[in-house]
Amino acid sequence: MNQPPFPRLLVANRGEIAVRVIRACRELGIESVAVYSEPDRLAPHVLQADLSVPIGPARATESYLDGGKLIAAARQTNAEAIHPGYGFLAENPDFARAVGEAGLVFIGPPPEAIAAMGDKTRARTLMQDAGVPVVPGSDAVTGGQDAAAAARDIGFPLMLKAAAGGGGKGMRIVRALDELEPALNRARSEAEQAFGDPRVYLERFLERPRHIEIQVLADGFGTVVHLGERECSIQRRHQKLIEESPSPVVDEALRERMGRVAIEAARAVGYQGAGTVEFLFVDGEFYFLEMNTRIQVEHPVTELVTGVDLVQEQIRVAAGSPLGWEPDPGWPLGHAIECRIGGEDPFNGFLPSAGRITELEAPAGPGVRWDSGISAGYEVGLHYDPLLAKLVVHGADRLQAINRMRRSLEELHVAGIITTQSFHLAVMEEPDFLAGRLSIEYVDDHPDLLRDADLPLLEAAAIAAVLLEEERRDTPRPESARTDGRPRVRQLSGWQRAGVTDGAGWGRRS
């Protein structure tokens, strides 16, 4: 067996990404250390790790966002490296710097690269200097007069964006000059609350673009490669819901062109490790949006169409190893789709759903991957991001991948809370999605995806639920039968199932 890159590594995260990193460590022969807040003491990532350390109460600022506690836990367990996953402190240059100063290895890019790409206005300037196409925009504006002058140069409609942020925080669309000042005040206030930095900048608003990103890997010896693109256009409030690779609109020539630009973007900041360069794509042209200096939630679709374990590559590069391989000219291999399964009610404004998971049956079979941070009996709270798991499938082509995803979603059963499963099923049968007609406005353009079924169907479901419950009480059932009274063979179509709601004995919509 080869010498592991590190004897022991601490995973500074929770949920499915912590489980994902622990699995990569096990394959590399690395002992893993989990950290956990009080509610997570029996979470899957804790149970799967070789060692675990408590780091505080539920509040993230007193546990997963407390860099001092994370570094102390690594020292306590003699871990040599820290993998931050995504979210929390993954893109915090101060934490990355503190890890290095403590004599530990940060599994990620240098702090300077994180800082450069974390400041959106600075990143725009760096990309322009590197010849990367960017959306026309401004530097950070300090007030209404600055903003008005910049708006006149850029033209309407335009977008206000937080200079220090991401994830949709501090973003406002402005379509006329009289909307600018109130939108600016709201954007500055939201940016201050979310990032501690009120600076915002202006950018031309592109109508219905696609969101396409390029995965890059870079080692410490000057090698930077790209692993193709991911289509991430299906979003809600700038949060991705479904991703796929390859994109339905990217051909080999465009892939190579976008890949070269992404490589130049990574080189411009001295990047190392796994990173993602994100673009807006409209009318055949693409524009730099931002660079995520970490592993992405949607990284599995790239792994499935390339065969590269991105998390293991992250760890090897951080340990000082060269990439040692070239991208395969035959990539992408088939087609992959990922659905993010969240503890949210898609028919009620995606409100978070909390409670105990009483039953969990994960899909399986050819080409199915289930990356999960949950298990039966797990208590889902409201303290953290609602992402519970990722259902990822791989097929020979896009149609097979869609059919495989539909089948897998039908197999998935989560009882005790409401999840986004039914929304994803509806998308898999929606004509525009099937045809690859996507944009970042896809969800807004298809409001029927977020509506319950018609009242007659609901009434029929309620009646069926009562009858099923009566039958359940009168008829002994084998151990394998569902405890919520639902039949295993479902007669409704996937679209109809998307609208079935709770009823006595029917179980929660999931």
> Could you please report the per-residue DSSP string of 433-466?
HHHT---TTHHHH-GGGGSPPPHHHHHHHHHHHH
- Tell me what pLDDT residue 196 has: 87
Strands (E), 283-386: 285-292, 335-342, 344-345, 351-352, 355-356, 359-361, 368-372, 379-380
- Tell me what pLDDT residue 170 has: 86
- Tell me what pLDDT residue 472 has: 57
Residue 11: enclosing H or E segment and its boundaries? strand 8-11
Does the domain at 136-204 match CATH 3.30.1490.20? Answer given as yes
Give yes or no for residue 226 having a pLDDT over 80: yes
Give the separation between CA 229 and CA 483, rounded to whole angstroms: 42
Give yes or no for residue 494 having a pLDDT over 60: no
Give the separation between CA 90 and CA 226, rounded to whole angstroms: 21
| For residues 142-163, average pLDDT | 92
| For residues 138-152, average pLDDT | 90
What is the CATH number that goes with domain 210-448?
3.30.470.20
Residue 202: enclosing H or E segment and its boundaries? strand 200-204
- Tell me what pLDDT residue 37 has: 98
Does the domain at 8-107 match CATH 3.40.50.20? Answer given as yes
- Tell me what pLDDT residue 506 has: 29
Give yes or no for residue 460 having a pLDDT over 60: no
pLDDT bucket at 52, cuts 50 / 70 / 90? very high
Give yes or no for residue 438 having a pLDDT over 50: yes
Which residue in the block uniquely carries the two structure tokens 């890019």? Answer: 109
Domain boundaries, the chain: 8-107, 136-204, 210-448, 453-497
- Tell me what pLDDT residue 142 has: 80
- Tell me what pLDDT residue 504 has: 28
Give yes or no for residue 458 having a pLDDT over 60: no
Give yes or no for residue 329 having a pLDDT over 70: yes
Question: Is the Cβ–Cβ distance between 77 and 11 less than 8 Å?
Answer: no
- As given in the structure block, the two tokens for residue 179 are 């909307």
Give the separation between CA 66 and CA 386, rounded to whole angstroms: 20
- As given in the structure block, the two tokens for residue 263 are 């490589």
Are the folds of 136-204 and 210-448 the same?
Answer: no
88: closest CA among 306, 387, 329?
Answer: 387
Strands (E), 14-144: 31-37, 51-56, 81-83, 105-106, 137-141
- Tell me what pLDDT residue 484 has: 39
Determine the Cα angle at 258 with ends 241 and 132, to 5°. Answer: 105
More confident of the two residues 397 and 468: 397
pLDDT bucket at 186, cuts 50 / 70 / 90? very high
Burial class (CB in 10 A: 0-12, 13-18, 19+), 194: middle
- Tell me what pLDDT residue 474 has: 57
Buried (b) or exposed (e) across 126-149, using 16+ Cβ within 10 A?
bbeeeebebbebbebbeeeeebee
More confident of the two residues 377 and 494: 377
| For residues 3-28, average pLDDT | 98
pLDDT digits (tens, 9 = 90+) for 355-404: 999 999 999 999 999 999 999 999 999 999 999 999 999 999 999 999 99
| Active centre residues (catalytic) | 294
For 133, how many CA atoms within 13 A lie in the half-sphere containing its CB? Answer: 13
pLDDT bucket at 169, cuts 50 / 70 / 90? confident
DSSP-derived secondary structure letter, 58: S
The 10 Å Cβ neighbour count of residue 491 is 8
Give the separation between CA 287 and CA 475, rounded to whole angstroms: 62
Give the separation between CA 74 and CA 82, rounded to whole angstroms: 7
| For residues 477-482, average pLDDT | 39
- Tell me what pLDDT residue 508 has: 33
Give yes or no for residue 489 having a pLDDT over 50: no
Give the separation between CA 505 and CA 472, rounded to whole angstroms: 9
Question: Is the Cβ–Cβ distance between 161 and 140 less than 8 Å?
Answer: no
Give the separation between CA 30 and CA 2, rounded to whole angstroms: 11
DSSP-derived secondary structure letter, 348: T
The three-class DSSP label of residue 472 is helix
Give the separation between CA 277 and CA 289, rounded to whole angstroms: 8
Percent of the chain at pLDDT > 70 equals 88
Give the separation between CA 202 and CA 141, rounded to whole angstroms: 8
| For residues 125-152, average pLDDT | 92
Lowest mean pLDDT among 2-11, 98-107, 163-172, 203-212: 163-172
Lowest mean pLDDT among 151-165, 370-384, 437-451: 151-165
The three-class DSSP label of residue 266 is helix
Give the separation between CA 82 and CA 358, rounded to whole angstroms: 33
Q: Using omega within 30 degrees of 0 as the cis cutoff, is the peptide bond preceding 332 cis?
A: yes
Burial class (CB in 10 A: 0-12, 13-18, 19+), 463: exposed
Average pLDDT, the chain: 90
- Tell me what pLDDT residue 2 has: 81
